[in-house]
Amino acid sequence: MNLFNATPRTQRMLIFLTLAMASTYFAALVFLMEIFPPPSPDISADQVALIYSHANLKFRIGVAIMIITGGFYIPWSMVIAVQMDRIEKRTSIWTMLQAVVSASGTWIFALPPLLWGAAAFNAGRDPAITGLMHELGFLVFYCASSFFPFQLIAISIVSLSERNTDPHTAFPRWLGWLCLWAGVIASEGFVGVIFNSGPFSWNGIFVFWLPVIIFTIWMIAMTIMMFRAIALQEKHGTQ
């Protein structure tokens, strides 16, 4: 018996829930809070304070929306676990690793809005305190890179394993290689705590742009392949 199981309908519902919550989450970040792409780490304290005092109510509404939708990664990861467990079955160590790492790593999406909300909560305070909350939020969001590489590596191992012989799998071999490279790129975020400007800062190409691009490509690919696998498994009675 598989450790993770769900009907095709439940899996689809969880994927749609994830897509709806993730879209709302990032829309708030872009259009209400207006901090995506992120500001440079080396701007002055007064410039930081202006980010949180300008259109303060709109910013705080964006924070509230991000807090509500910040758990979007959990239902997504559970569907991945269901599909991985179809391959591993009882020896599901990589499935368990993926589920545990992705669920526990959700704080990377949930914590930064709280820090940005704290920065905006009292816009008239000492700019140095606002700046500290500001920096903590961005360092967590873009530089806390120790969780998700484990999730991606676990998926790649299952995808590339000899057990992955089901023609209706959600993880073709090319997706395994994509996960592996995404894991390598995602692990570069830690350098953002060292550099205040340039390509290795939190708004630079290696910490921000490359991870965002590869994460977007990965999510689109995973969504397409999971929907495809669920449809085929349902059609052939192998769910």
| DSSP-assigned letter for residue 161 | S
- In the chain, which residues have pLDDT < 50? none
pLDDT digits (tens, 9 = 90+) for 76-87: 999 999 999 999
pLDDT for position 144: 86
pLDDT in tens, 117-149: 999 999 889 999 999 999 999 999 999 888 889
**Cα separation, 63 vs 185, whole angstroms:** 28
Q: According to the model, what pLDDT value does residue 235 have?
A: 85
> What pTM was computed for the model?
0.92
Q: What's 89's DSSP letter?
A: T
Name the residue with tokens 């897509």.
19
Please list, residue by residue across 14-49, b when 16 or more beta carbons sit within 10 angstroms of its beta carbon and e when fewer do. Answer: bbeebeebbeebbebbeebbebeebbebeeeeeebb
- pLDDT for 51: 95
In which residue are the tokens 């909560």 written? 121
Q: How far apart are CA 34 and CA 52, in angstroms?
A: 10
Confidence at residue 127, expressed as pLDDT on a 0 to 100 scale: 94
